[in-house]
């Protein structure tokens, strides 16, 4: 979830009742707080209402997205994919209480720090392969993340062990269509290459591992190529 200032269309809300609550991130759809939940380090994702939406529609949309995010996280964990534990879901206030991955580092920050340090980058290729493997397993579960970026991936400490955690499933959905999986990869590719310039070979390693791991990769990669072509055509026209 991208940070930023409050949105004009958002309604004012009270923070959820969490001991030691602290606002850590503000996005277009939700606020993220950090604190304690039943004695455990937790983050709370609070979806807020939008004034421009009809209240009944807003309630249905928020509840549906909150439920889908919780289901997606549980689906990941059942498949052996590392994701935050869901502690509690409050459908009245549309809050999800999640495990706080303490002292974690975003993949974005890790890649940037390695590149800026001038040190050996071989570990980045191992990381790219790890991402490709995890995403292949996620897609084989017919789970589409919807907002894949290196900011929505964490590394547990110590980061050198490349213990990858997927987060922020607020736009996730279930689909077995190769098109949806191809678009998921395309979103990541655009974000990856724009955030981390000159990393084409890293992303190629990611896709190679994805193809080797996924049971359904051939059709997905074919769709990815089609989506890329459509994107280039739009760029030429626009």
**Active-site residue among 147, 163, 180, 200?**
147
- Asked, for residue 2, whether it belongs to a domain, the answer is no
Parent domain of 72: 19-99
- Asked, for residue 14, whether it belongs to a domain, the answer is no
CATH number at residue 163: 1.10.510.10
CA angle 16–22–94, rounded 5-degree value: 30
The DSSP element (H or E) to which 207 belongs, if any, is helix 200-213
From 49, 76, 99, the end of a domain falls on 99
> pLDDT: is 39 or 108 the higher one?
108
User: What is the count of structural domains for the chain?
Assistant: 2
Q: pLDDT tens-digit profile of 166-218?
A: 999 999 999 999 999 999 999 999 999 999 999 999 999 999 999 999 999 99
pLDDT band at residue 16 using 50, 70 and 90 as cut-offs: low
- 111 and 33 together in one domain: no
pLDDT recorded at residue 9: 46
CATH number at residue 72: 3.30.200.20
Q: pLDDT tens-digit profile of 158-168?
A: 999 999 999 99
Please state whether the predicted TM-score (pTM) of the whole model is above 0.75.
yes
| Both structure tokens of 11 | 């309604």
The question of whether 100 is a catalytic residue gets the answer no
Angle between helices 178-195 and 200-213 (to 10 degrees): 150
């Amino acid at each position: 979830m991208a940070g930023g200032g409050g949105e004009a269309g958002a309604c004012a809300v009270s923070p959820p009742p969490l001991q030691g609550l602290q606002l850590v991130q503000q996005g277009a759809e939700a606020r993220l707080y950090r604190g304690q939940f039943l004695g455990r380090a937790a983050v709370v994702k609070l979806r807020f209402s939008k004034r421009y939406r009809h209240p009944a529609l807003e309630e249905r949309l928020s509840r549906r997205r909150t439920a889908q995010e919780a289901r997606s996280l549980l689906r990941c964990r059942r498949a052996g994919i590392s994701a935050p534990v869901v502690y509690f879901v409050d459908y009245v206030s549309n809050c999800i209480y999640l495990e706080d991955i303490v002292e974690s580092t975003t993949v974005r920050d890790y890649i940037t720090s390695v590149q800026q340090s001038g040190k050996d980058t071989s570990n980045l290729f191992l990381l790219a392969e790890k991402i490709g493997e995890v995403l292949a397993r996620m897609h084989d579960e017919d789970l589409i993340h919807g907002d894949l970026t290196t900011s929505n991936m964490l590394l547990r400490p110590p980061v050198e062990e490349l213990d990858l955690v997927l987060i922020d499933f607020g736009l996730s959905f279930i689909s077995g269509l190769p098109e949806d999986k191809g678009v998921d990869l395309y979103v990541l590719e655009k974000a990856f290459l724009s955030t981390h310039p000159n990393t084409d070979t890293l992303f190629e390693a990611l896709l190679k591992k994805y193809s080797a791991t996924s049971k359904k990769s051939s059709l997905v990669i074919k769709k990815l190529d089609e989506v890329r072509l459509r994107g280039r055509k739009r760029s030429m026209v626009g």
